């Protein structure tokens, strides 16, 4: 038995109003830098919807997270150590810019500096990647509040799964509309598959509070962690060539302040606290093959209850 | 704010709101994604860093000034030379702004002001800045400047259509609503056309949380809006049909709680707090339609006074309404009506104490009543045509008058039959043919009859069980329709019938616009410069823009079109422009410019006429000039150059990129630049009779457009001079809201960067520059100011019976202050504007500050401010307290208001105690010595003191709910009867068929404006209702250009379409489309979604033309803003004034700038876009 502490956050999804204040304050605090324009440590998704990046939950495509071997052990879905060692120089399975979105800005200065012409000046979109004019076709939150879902929602992997379970009762029709908002940060997993994926050992889980961090000095930009994370909550900074992720605002946590996302959550749906758990029981709980009841018992044991 | 080395790095919300107490959720954290992204603006490339001027204007001005040597002469020349004038006007909006010095920018602005005042008159200057509550000092300083020079300040709350006209109509109050913390007290909560997660983001949690107490949440919305996610039940009423649903719910509530069964709580409530027991006269319709409801019976008729033919003499008796007392079996005049409010002998009687009267709600309760059939209007036809319904009411005869009660009329109106009454009644709830049953509404709203019935029953049951804790959060989804006032009345009726108004956890909760300046007295009096001169020129914004942007010229929608089939003729033949002219002529509503002459010259003329002994007063002289036709209203020839607005300033606002309904009309007629108006001769044969129609419409009325902003907007692009403004993070100010009971401060995180200045400093500089030029050009002048009769003043009892006392072409005399605008001469020393701006003037202590007919003695506040800030040593403000910085100004607002100065609150309540004879001062006792200082508001938000400035109480830490002082202390509402009104009896209300709550469908734009019929037309285009809902990623136009918000949305102009509508025109998600009609064109990318029903499109409010807007196919020019496809639709009944609670006050009552009824043709365009 090895008792560990984990800071955790519970989000009461029933209360989420989908306002994205959390996303903005997080971005302002952590990722308003070159190379992280597309990076949202905290984002909010409308469900049904594709999520961010698109369809990240489809692990047959993205190979994220763990799978159970026939022998009852855990193995990264992206492959065993040997396979991953042999393919380390190949580009990992990971979302591309189109699966996120091409970040852009506008030529705002035109509004101030346009010489006298024959029509209103206008600020056109410019790619933050190429600097060229661009047409906007996707964003960090494109399908907000069910925008375009009747076209794209068929690709939502959760919808596809629910459909098959619910006999096609889910319809993208006016009076059958439904939605909810899903705010997401890094899960700071007990057994992080990103950490297990990292060839450089740059990702570590802090012993004192369980926060999962990327050591920016050790990261070599292999990007295996991006594949490894089933939530696609590790992002590649294309300027620095390093992986970055939600830090659970550890500098704030260390001085007794809540994370930015929870402090600014106007829906008041985020609860932060510390969970004590038995680290030795985590692997067994994660590898549990049984159905819900036994899983709950296994998880309960890990969390220290009988 | 996180600041490093003087640079703002990022921000997040401060969490210092006071606690709400131990048994409920807190306000923290407040904020929203838009505000969280604000600091992007500080250093963004769209920041206005320096003063800018229109290059071609500067060149011409510099040349003329070098030649003429005088700024005013130079500006006069370039603004009157037709070639030069056109040259800079046609350059508006098209780039070509060049950096200039502050000195020169202010000099040109001042030259234009002085030129306008001297050449055309001060009332040709106009100012616009909205929503004072969010930054009172910034708003007040410019408003104060405007009023010191004698300019017109246009309103915004009504112009934005955020003012629910039903509120003054029903409550006699602008708007008073609960704080959001009171949602937690509701035990049944409806959200009706109000999408609070998007529009009240920081407050939405109360709605989410109250469900955990077991409160049922019901939402009424045409789309699966964000708030529907939270609802236990969704009533998807088709857009604009809410009135039908409300009428049917009212039908059920009246039948089951007032006829089939009696609920003592409801009965006692409505008898005391509403007009349901008041008696109304029935008269024979002149065209033989039989008996119709006419006017309230008043004490004047009881005493057998003859109905006054002209408004003269004491009229108090005509403003005392009558009940039937069952105890005595006779009519009785209860306390509390407006006739007691101003009368010398009314002291102590203006209250709602029934004092032993047992009012009959219905004459069926009284022995010896008769039954008669009356005719009622109905508007169930989707084209808006009226029809007549005949239903019976019990009546009695009192003298020569046949009377019934408002309650009896209500049952007839709602179709709730009773034994023994004649007429056509529904056979049951399932009668789909007869208004207003649940089955009847289903065909109109698509809400199942069963759901309507069930929700109505739950609503009433909850109200009965909880004694009025049923709340309706209501908003723009209802308020922005043309007939929103009657729709609101039908919805409010549900609350009034079930005892929910004036209850914590109950009542109406209208949140559209952040209009509540809690420190009202200080803000109102300082902003209007009432410490220096009275009265100010305040103007109805909608009326101003409707006339001055020439939208009236193509308006086929005359007052005739709103007429009831039972009209008696008061609206006949009135073009809306005629209605405007009449409303101004009779002192109902203001209009500026007021007359066709410079009011400075007019004042001289009037004074000369008095000096020669020809006339006793200046007013008499003007009245004679008006009656004889020698002097005309500016309205009567609105397009004459002498009546144009000339100098305009816009600050804290983006009028031309946001609220300007009929935006392209503004561009063409007001500004004289290119536009996207389509040819439209639809109304060529429908011209006003009292307003001259010039064959050539003016283009380019404004000499100079000034704006102050921190970012480049459609407005700054169109401005001739742009002042670089400080942002919210760079100045001192105070803020309050209706959403919570606190006053809080803005404190600068950094100094204004580059050459930016605070609004306070901009207007200080401008005043000084004007003063300098005035030394040679203006000096001290007298100004003749015309203002309408105002609410909460004795002016509101000058036109008894709500009749049209027109003096034009009739035998009636023109009597200023009675049936014509009140006239006053104001002395203006134009060299001393800056001195006055910066000091608290002598009228503060000489006359006091008045709000809502309570005058507050300002002796102590003036003393305090003098000691605190010092007094000025010289100039026009010598000896007066200094308010010459934004901090001191904020202090003055707080010191001069009851909510923030306990001594004033107590004094105000004492005054009210004398008038009402009721105990009130205890509500503020204990706070006598409390003054909320600016420093305190900087430390943390401060809860306000309960004050007679508002109708609710915070005493003892209670959550604020409106009208609790009325229901608990029996203080009357500020209405004719002193009660909440179901019935309105002005001539125009009767002739519009809107005496009682009623359903009116959305406007039929095809017959009104020649627009195509709704729906597909076989072509690859479709006609949809064009709904300008709020944008999740902006607050009005602010943030719509913010990169964070653009990255979270779709990065440019958008319009939401239903799946079927998009398919019918071959549009896929994110494809470019164009939305157009006669008013202009909006180019957007489509967002196709199944959450919308067919037949409507959502074009989010305040998308302007600065971000990713290509050229349109329709005109070849840049696509417009969202309001390029709308136009101003004036409802003539909003122009009623000078009659009891239907009287004007700024932002309180006036025509609203509605736009939801607009339809637009939507088509797919080439996907190759050019810029």
Q: How far is B33 from chain A (nearest CA, A)?
A: 4
Q: What is the rounded distance in angstroms from the CA atom of residue B249 to the CA atom of residue B470?
A: 14
Q: Round the average pLDDT of chain B to a whole number and report it.
A: 96
Which pLDDT does position B8 carry in this prediction? 94
Among residues B664, B684, B689, B701, the alpha carbon closest in space to that of B555 is found at B684
Q: State which residue of chain B sits closest to A152, comparing Cα positions.
A: B1069
Chain B residues inside the 8 Å CB shell of A124: 1108, 1171
DSSP letter for B255, please.
I
Chain A residues inside the 8 Å CB shell of B12: 25, 28-29, 260, 263-264
Record the tokens describing residue B283, joined without a space.
């008269």
Q: What is the rounded distance in angstroms from the CA atom of residue B50 to the CA atom of residue B754?
A: 7
Are B1108 and A121 within 8 A, CB to CB?
no
Structure-token match 């007052």, residue found: B559
In B899-1047 the beta strands, taken as DSSP E runs, fall at 942-943, 1015-1016, 1021-1027
Q: How confident is the model at residue B1017 (pLDDT cuts 50, 70, 90)?
A: confident
With beta carbons less than 8 A apart as the criterion, state whether B478 and B484 touch: yes
Which pLDDT does position B1019 carry in this prediction? 79
pLDDT tens-digit series, residues B788-813: 999 999 999 999 999 999 999 999 99
Nearest by CB to residue B95, choosing from A32, A115, A265, is A115
With beta carbons less than 8 A apart as the criterion, state whether B830 and B771 touch: yes
Query: Is B143 a residue whose pLDDT tops 70?
Result: yes
Are B204 and A266 within 8 A, CB to CB?
yes
With beta carbons less than 8 A apart as the criterion, state whether B1104 and B1121 touch: yes
Pairing between β-strand B704-709 and β-strand B721-724 as defined by DSSP bridges: parallel
| CA-angle at B1168, arms to B1164 and B1170, nearest 5° | 110
Mean pLDDT of B606-627: 97
Q: What is the rounded distance in angstroms from the CA atom of residue B325 to the CA atom of residue A6?
A: 73
pLDDT tens-digit series, residues B1122-1158: 999 999 999 999 999 999 999 999 999 999 999 999 9
Query: Is B641 a residue whose pLDDT tops 90?
Result: yes
Query: Is B477 a residue whose pLDDT tops 50?
Result: yes
Chain A residues inside the 8 Å CB shell of B1089: 145-150
Q: Which helix (H) or strand (E) is B1127 found in, with range?
A: none
pLDDT tens-digit series, residues B42-81: 999 999 999 999 999 999 999 999 999 999 999 999 999 9
Mean pLDDT of B221-234: 97
Are A24 and B1068 within 8 A, CB to CB?
no
Pairing between β-strand B1080-1089 and β-strand B1054-1058 as defined by DSSP bridges: parallel
With beta carbons less than 8 A apart as the criterion, state whether B758 and B139 touch: no
Quick one: what percent of chain B has pLDDT higher than 70?
A: 99
With beta carbons less than 8 A apart as the criterion, state whether B168 and B139 touch: no
Query: Is B310 a residue whose pLDDT tops 50?
Result: no
Mean pLDDT of B470-482: 97
Among residues B919, B981, B987, B986, the alpha carbon closest in space to that of B953 is found at B919
Q: How far is A281 from chain B (nearest CA, A)?
A: 36
Torsions phi, psi of B452, nearest 5?
A: -60, -45
pLDDT tens-digit series, residues B865-888: 999 999 999 999 999 999 999 999
Per the omega criterion (within 30 degrees of 0), is the bond before B593 cis?
A: yes
Q: How far is A126 from chain B (nearest CA, A)?
A: 10
Q: Which residues of B662-691 are buried (b: 16+ CB within 10 A; e: fewer)?
A: bbbbbbbbbbbbbbbbeebeebeeebbebb
With beta carbons less than 8 A apart as the criterion, state whether B75 and B115 touch: yes
Chain B residues inside the 8 Å CB shell of A113: 95
Q: How far is A154 from chain B (nearest CA, A)?
A: 13
Task: Count CB atoms within 10 A of the CB of residue B1134.
Answer: 26
Task: Count CB atoms within 10 A of the CB of residue B2.
Answer: 13
**A203 burial level (CB within 10 Å; 0-12, 13-18, 19+):** buried
What's the CA dihedral at B237, B242, B247, B253 to 10 degrees?
70
Are B33 and A149 within 8 A, CB to CB?
no
Query: Is B304 a residue whose pLDDT tops 80?
Result: no
Nearest by CB to residue B201, choosing from A19, A109, A122, is A19
Chain A residues inside the 8 Å CB shell of B45: 108-109, 112
Q: Which helix (H) or strand (E) is B960 found in, with range?
A: none
Which pLDDT does position B952 carry in this prediction? 97
First to last CA, chain B: 38
Q: How confident is the model at residue B344 (pLDDT cuts 50, 70, 90)?
A: confident
ipTM of the complex: 0.94
Query: Is B311 a residue whose pLDDT tops 60?
Result: no
Are B46 and A112 within 8 A, CB to CB?
yes
With beta carbons less than 8 A apart as the criterion, state whether A50 and A146 touch: no
Quick one: what percent of chain B has pLDDT higher than 90?
A: 95
Record the tokens describing residue A234, joined without a space.
């590790």
Q: What is the rounded distance in angstroms from the CA atom of residue B42 to the CA atom of residue B25?
A: 34
CA B130 to chain centre: 11
Sign of the CA dihedral running B263, B269, B272, B274: negative
Which pLDDT does position B313 carry in this prediction? 45
Crossing angle of helices B242-254 and B406-414, in 10° steps, is: 120
pLDDT tens-digit series, residues B1060-1107: 999 999 999 999 999 999 999 999 999 999 999 999 999 999 999 999
Mean pLDDT of B296-312: 68
Q: How far is B96 from chain A (nearest CA, A)?
A: 4
First to last CA, chain A: 13
Q: What is the rounded distance in angstroms from the CA atom of residue A272 to the CA atom of residue B135?
A: 35
Record the tokens describing residue A242, joined without a space.
């390093």
With beta carbons less than 8 A apart as the criterion, state whether B919 and B913 touch: yes
Which pLDDT does position A17 carry in this prediction? 97
Q: How far is B1090 from chain A (nearest CA, A)?
A: 5
Higher pLDDT, A84 or B984: B984
pLDDT under 50 in chain A at which residues? 306
Q: What Cα–Cα distance (Å) separates residue B909 from each residue in B857, B924, B950, B963?
A: 13, 8, 11, 15
Higher pLDDT, A101 or B306: A101
Are A111 and B717 within 8 A, CB to CB?
yes
Mean pLDDT of B419-424: 94
Are A29 and B1056 within 8 A, CB to CB?
no
Which pLDDT does position B170 carry in this prediction? 98
Q: State which residue of chain B sits closest to A270, comparing Cα positions.
A: B29
Q: State which residue of chain B sits closest to A101, comparing Cα positions.
A: B1047
Which pLDDT does position B65 carry in this prediction? 98
Q: How confident is the model at residue B315 (pLDDT cuts 50, 70, 90)?
A: confident
Which pLDDT does position B308 carry in this prediction? 47
With beta carbons less than 8 A apart as the criterion, state whether B716 and B651 touch: no
pLDDT tens-digit series, residues B648-679: 999 999 999 999 999 999 999 999 999 999 98
Q: How confident is the model at residue B401 (pLDDT cuts 50, 70, 90)?
A: very high
Task: Count CB atoms within 10 A of the CB of residue B708.
Answer: 30
Are B204 and A267 within 8 A, CB to CB?
yes
Q: What is the rounded distance in angstroms from the CA atom of residue B1087 to the CA atom of residue B730?
A: 37
With beta carbons less than 8 A apart as the criterion, state whether B402 and B281 touch: yes
Q: State which residue of chain A sits closest to B1043, comparing Cα positions.
A: A105
With beta carbons less than 8 A apart as the criterion, state whether B519 and B899 touch: yes
Record the tokens describing residue A65, joined without a space.
């997270």
């Amino acid at each position: 038995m090895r008792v560990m502490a984990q800071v955790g956050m519970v989000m009461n999804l029933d209360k989420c109003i989908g306002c994205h204040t959390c996303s903005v304050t997080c971005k302002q605090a952590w990722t308003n830098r070159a190379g992280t324009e597309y990076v949202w440590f905290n984002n909010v998704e409308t469900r049904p919807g594709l999520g961010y990046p698109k369809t990240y939950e489809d692990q047959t495509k993205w190979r994220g997270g763990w799978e159970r071997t026939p022998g009852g052990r855990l193995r990264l879905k992206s492959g065993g150590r040997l396979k991953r060692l042999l393919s380390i120089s190949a580009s990992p399975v990971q979302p591309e810019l189109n699966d996120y979105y091409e970040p852009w800005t506008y030529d705002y200065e035109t509004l101030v500096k346009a010489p006298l012409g024959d029509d209103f000046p206008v600020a056109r979109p410019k790619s933050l990647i190429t600097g060229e004019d661009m047409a906007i076709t996707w964003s960090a939150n494109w399908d907000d509040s069910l925008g375009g879902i009747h076209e794209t929602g068929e690709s939502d992997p959760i919808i596809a799964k629910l459909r098959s379970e619910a006999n096609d009762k889910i319809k993208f029709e006016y009076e059958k509309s439904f939605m909810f908002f899903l705010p997401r940060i890094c899960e700071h997993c007990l057994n992080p598959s990103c950490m297990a994926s990292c060839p450089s050992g740059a990702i570590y889980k802090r012993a004192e509070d369980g926060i999962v961090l990327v050591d920016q000095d050790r990261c070599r930009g292999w990007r295996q962690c991006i594949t490894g994370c089933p939530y696609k909550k590790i992002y590649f900074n294309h300027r620095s060539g390093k992986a970055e992720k939600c830090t659970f605002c550890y500098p704030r946590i260390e001085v007794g302040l809540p994370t930015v996302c929870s402090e600014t959550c106007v829906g008041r749906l985020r609860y932060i606290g510390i969970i004590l758990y038995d680290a030795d029981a985590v692997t067994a709980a994660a590898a549990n093959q049984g159905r819900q009841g036994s899983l709950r018992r296994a998880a309960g044991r890990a969390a220290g209850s009988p | 704010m996180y600041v490093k080395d003087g640079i703002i790095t990022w921000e997040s919300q401060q969490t210092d709101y006071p606690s709400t107490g131990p048994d409920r959720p807190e306000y923290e954290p407040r904020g929203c994604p838009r505000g969280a992204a604000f600091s992007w603006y500080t250093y963004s490339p769209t920041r206005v860093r320096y003063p800018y001027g229109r290059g071609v204007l500067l060149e011409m001005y510099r040349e003329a000034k070098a030649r003429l040597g005088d700024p005013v002469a130079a500006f006069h020349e370039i603004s009157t030379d037709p070639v030069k004038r056109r040259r800079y006007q046609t350059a508006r909006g098209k780039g070509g702004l060049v950096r200039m010095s502050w000195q020169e920018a202010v000099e040109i602005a001042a030259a234009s002001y002085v030129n306008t005042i001297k050449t055309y008159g001060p009332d040709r200057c106009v100012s616009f800045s909205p929503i004072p509550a969010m930054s009172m000092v910034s708003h007040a300083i410019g408003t104060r400047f405007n009023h010191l020079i004698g300019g017109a300040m246009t309103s915004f709350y009504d112009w934005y259509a955020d003012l629910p006209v039903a509120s003054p109509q029903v409550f006699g109050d602008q708007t008073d609503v609960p704080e959001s913390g009171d949602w937690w007290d509701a035990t049944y909560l409806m959200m009706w056309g109000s999408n609070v997660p998007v529009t009240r983001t920081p407050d939405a949690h109360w709605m989410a949380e109250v469900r955990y107490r077991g409160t049922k949440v019901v939402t009424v919305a045409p789309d699966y809006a964000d708030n529907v996610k939270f609802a236990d039940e969704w009533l998807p009423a088709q857009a604009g049909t809410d009135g039908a649903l409300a009428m049917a719910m009212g039908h059920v509530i009246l039948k089951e709680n007032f006829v089939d069964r009696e609920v003592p709580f409801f009965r006692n409530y409505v008898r005391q707090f509403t007009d349901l027991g008041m008696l109304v006269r029935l008269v024979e319709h002149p065209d033989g339609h039989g008996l119709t409801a006419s006017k309230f019976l008043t004490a004047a008729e009881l005493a057998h006074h003859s109905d006054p033919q002209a408004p003269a003499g004491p009229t108090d008796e005509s403003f005392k309404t009558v009940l039937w007392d069952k105890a005595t079996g006779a009519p009785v005049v209860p306390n509390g009506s407006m006739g007691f409010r101003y009368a010398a002998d009314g002291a102590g009687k203006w209250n709602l104490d029934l004092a032993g009267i047992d009012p009959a709600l219905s004459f069926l309760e009284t022995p010896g009543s008769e039954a008669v059939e009356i005719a009622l209007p109905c508007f169930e036809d989707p084209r808006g045509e009226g029809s007549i319904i005949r239903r019976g009411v019990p009546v009695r005869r009192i003298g020569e008058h046949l009377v019934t009660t408002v309650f009896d009329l209500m049952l007839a109106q709602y179709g709730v039959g009773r034994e023994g009454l004649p007429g056509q009644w529904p056979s049951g709830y399932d009668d789909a043919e007869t208004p207003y049953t649940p089955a009847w509404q289903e065909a109109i709203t698509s809400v199942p009859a069963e759901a309507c019935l069930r929700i109505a029953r739950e609503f009433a049951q909850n109200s009965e069980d909880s004694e009025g804790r049923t709340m309706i959060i209501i908003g723009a989804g209802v308020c922005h329709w043309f007939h929103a006032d009657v729709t609101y009345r039908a919805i409010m009726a549900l609350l009034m019938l079930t005892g929910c108004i004036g209850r914590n956890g109950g009542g109406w909760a209208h949140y559209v616009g952040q209009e509540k300046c809690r420190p009202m007295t200080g803000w109102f009096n300082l902003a209007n410069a009432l410490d220096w001169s009275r009265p100010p020129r305040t103007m109805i914004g909608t009326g101003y823009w409707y006339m001055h942007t020439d939208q009236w010229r193509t308006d086929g929608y005359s007052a005739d079109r709103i007429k009831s089939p039972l009209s008696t003729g008061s609206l006949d033949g009135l073009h809306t422009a005629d209605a405007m002219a009449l409303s101004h002529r009779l002192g109902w509503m203001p209009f500026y410019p007021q007359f066709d002459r410079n009011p400075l010259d007019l004042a001289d003329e009037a004074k000369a006429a008095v000096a020669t002994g020809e006339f006793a007063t200046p007013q008499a002289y003007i009245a004679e000039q008006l009656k004889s036709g020698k002097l005309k209203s500016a309205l009567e020839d609105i397009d004459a150059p002498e009546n144009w607005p000339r100098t305009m300033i816009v600050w804290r606002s983006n009028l031309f990129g946001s609220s300007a309904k009929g935006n392209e009309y503004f561009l063409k007629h007001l500004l004289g630049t290119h536009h996207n108006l389509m040819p439209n001769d639809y109304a060529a044969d429908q011209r006003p009779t009292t307003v001259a129609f010039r064959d050539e419409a003016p283009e380019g009325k404004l000499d100079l457009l000034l704006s102050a902003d921190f970012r480049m907007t459609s407005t700054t692009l169109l401005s001739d001079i742009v002042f670089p403004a400080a942002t919210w993070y760079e100045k001192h100010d105070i803020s309050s809201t209706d959403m919570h009971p606190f006053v809080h401060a803005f404190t600068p995180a950094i100094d204004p960067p580059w050459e930016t200045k605070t609004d306070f400093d901009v207007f200080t500089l401008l005043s000084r520059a004007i003063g300098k030029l005035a030394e040679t050009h203006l000096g001290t002048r007298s100004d003749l100011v015309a203002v309408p009769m105002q609410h909460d003043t004795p002016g509101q009892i000058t036109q008894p019976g709500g009749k049209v006392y027109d003096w034009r072409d009739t035998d009636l005399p023109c009597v200023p202050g009675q049936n014509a605008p009140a006239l006053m001469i104001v002395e203006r020393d134009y060299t001393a504007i800056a001195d006055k701006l910066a000091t608290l003037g002598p009228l503060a202590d000489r006359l006091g500050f008045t709000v809502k007919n309570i005058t507050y003695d300002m002796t102590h506040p003036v003393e305090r401010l003098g000691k605190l800030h010092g007094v000025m040593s010289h100039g026009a403000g010598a000896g007066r307290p200094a308010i010459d910085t934004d901090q001191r100004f904020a202090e003055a607002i707080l010191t001069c208001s009851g909510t923030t100065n306990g001594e004033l609150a107590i004094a105000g309540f004492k005054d009210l105690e004398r008038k009402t004879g009721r105990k009130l001062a205890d509500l503020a006792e204990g706070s006598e010595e409390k003054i909320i200082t600016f420093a305190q508001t900087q430390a943390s938000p401060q809860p306000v003191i309960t004050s007679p400035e508002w109708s609710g109480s915070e005493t003892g830490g209670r959550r604020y709910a409106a009208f609790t002082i009325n229901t608990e202390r029996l203080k009357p509402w500020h209405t004719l009867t002193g009660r909440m009104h179901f019935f309105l009896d002005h001539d125009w209300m009767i002739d519009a068929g809107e005496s009682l709550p009623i359903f009116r469908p959305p406007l039929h734009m095809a017959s009104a404006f020649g627009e195509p019929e709704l729906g597909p037309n076989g072509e690859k285009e479709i006609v949809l209702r064009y709904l300008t809902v709020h944008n999740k990623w902006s607050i009005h136009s602010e943030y719509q250009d913010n990169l964070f918000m653009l990255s979270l949305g779709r990065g440019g102009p958008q319009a939401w379409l239903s799946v079927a509508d998009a398919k019918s025109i071959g549009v896929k998600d994110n494809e470019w489309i164009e939305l157009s009609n006669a008013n202009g064109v909006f180019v957007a990318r489509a967002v196709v979604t199944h959450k919308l029903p067919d037949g409507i499109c959502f074009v989010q409010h305040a998308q302007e033309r600065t971000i990713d807007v290509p050229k349109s196919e329709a005109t070849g020019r840049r696509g417009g803003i969202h309001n390029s496809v709308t136009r101003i639709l004036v409802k003539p009944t909003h122009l009623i004034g000078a009659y009891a609670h239907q009287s004007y006050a700024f932002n309180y009552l006036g025509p609203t700038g509605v736009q939801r009824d607009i339809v637009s043709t939507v088509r797919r365009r080439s996907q190759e876009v050019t810029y």
